[in-house]
Copies of this chain bind each other. A is one copy, B any other.
Amino acid sequence: MPQKISSAEWEVMNVVWEKQSLTAAEVFEALPKGHGWKQKTVNTFLTRLVDKGVLAADKQEKAYVYTARVAREKSVRIEGDSFLQRVFRGATGDLMLHFCENAELSADEIRELELLLKKKKARK
C-alpha cells in the first residue's frame, strides 16, 4: 500500500529514518553532498513522499517537520523483494552468492553471517 519509493527519494528517506524528525532544511543539510541537489529539489522529493504517504509533514511554527510514516524495515522488504524478483527471479540463493562474490565483507560481517547460517540450518 505504500507507493513505490524512487531512487532519489530513497536517499531522502535514508536520512529521515536515521534522524527521525527534521525540517526540509535539515534534510538538505544531512544529505550526502555530491548529488548537487538544490534545496528546492529536495523539497519536491519531500512533498512527493508526503503524497505517497511515506512521510508525515507536521507544521511547527516556522516550518514543517517531516517524520516517517512507514518503517524502514517494511520499505526495505518491499524493495528487496522487488529486486530479488526482477534480477534473480526470486532465487535468494543466487542473490546471496552474487553479493558474496562481488563484495568486500569485514571479518566481523563474515562471522555474523556464518552464525546466521548456522542458526538457519539448525532450525530446519
Contact = CB atoms under 8 A, between A and B. Distances in A.
Contacts of A77: 102
A93 B106 contact: yes
Interface residues of A, number: 41
A116 interface: yes
A61 interface: no
B100 A117 contact: yes
Contact of A14 (B89, B92, B110, B124): B89
B99 A103 contact: no
Contact of A109 (B93, B98, B114): B93
A93 B25 CA distance: 31
A88 to B, nearest CB: 8
